[in-house]
Amino acid sequence: MPNAGSTGDLAPEAEPVEASLGAISLRRFDLTDLPWVLEIEGRSFGAPWSAASFTIETSRPSSVSLVGELDGRPVGYAIFTRYADSWHLMTVAVDPRARRRGVARTLIDAGLEAIGPGPVTLEVRPSNSAAITLYEKLGFVQWGMRPGYYPDDGEDALIMWRGDPSEAGVPGEALSKPPRPARQ
Ligand SMILES: CC(C)(COP(=O)(O)OP(=O)(O)OC[C@H]1O[C@@H](n2cnc3c(N)ncnc32)[C@H](O)[C@@H]1OP(=O)(O)O)[C@@H](O)C(=O)NCCC(=O)NCCS
């Protein structure tokens, strides 16, 4: 699998992306990022990952782990990992003070580019409309539910896929239609 285990040419030479409010740049996640990552994680999730979870996930050979900076300040992260036949977006979060500036979108776009073609999946709480809107904008479609997936409160997970899940041996039909291409 080309690019597996690294972000390739992505960081740290990535070109800054001009967003409406600030310049976004990307680099690879490093374990020295843990203190601020854990702070954002704690402010973003009811059941945050621990330092050990980040260490394990970002150390996997197939991990593509990115940090997003806004005007030079680290404000978000996204972690992709390959399991069996498909890539999984394991987590993404952005500092609440830096949201709606395109950081998550830039992180996920860059991760998708780094991992290359092939199906990508994720789980998201059906109540997380912000994340679902973001994922749908990036081409993910709603595929199914995993009942009682989240251990902290038993909420179901919505499964989303980008690309063709049958390539990963996943049967079934999408629950939602792929987004229409943006108008030129
Ligand atoms: C979901 C999250 C990662 C989005 O990060 P972000 O950097 O604010 O997202 P972006 O600015 O890249 O948003 C891109 C698009 O996603 C959609 N979106 C993002 N946040 C949204 C919100 N709160 N409400 C509605 N749509 C939203 C919009 O379409 C947005 O485009 P627009 O701003 O031009 O309208 C962020 O809200 C977050 O960290 N939430 C807590 C952690 C979390 O839920 N992670 C996902 C777990 S599955």
Active site annotation includes 123: yes
The whole model's pTM is what? 0.88
Half-sphere exposure of 111 (CA within 13 A, CB side): 33
Least confident residue range of 15-24, 37-46, 148-157, 163-172:
15-24
Minimum-distance ligand 1 atom for the alpha carbon of 134 = 16
* CA 124 to centroid of chain Cα atoms: 11
- Give yes or no for residue 14 CB within 6 A of ligand 1: no
- Give yes or no for residue 133 CB within 6 A of ligand 1: yes
Q: Mean pLDDT score of the chain, rounded to an integer?
A: 87
Residue among 67, 76, 80, 82 at smallest CA distance from 28: 67
* Cα 131 to ligand 1 centre (Å): 5
The pair of structure tokens assigned to 174 is 């999408």
Q: What is the pLDDT of residues 59-105, one digit of tens each?
A: 999 999 999 999 999 999 999 999 888 999 999 999 999 999 999 99
Minimum-distance ligand 1 atom for the alpha carbon of 94 = 39
- Give yes or no for residue 110 CB within 6 A of ligand 1: no
**How far apart (Å, rounded) are the C-alpha atoms in residues 79 and 58?**
7
Active site annotation includes 57: no
In Å, how far are 38, 88, 159 from 174, measured between CA atoms?
A: 34, 17, 10
In the chain, the domains with their CATH numbers are 17-168 (3.40.630.30)
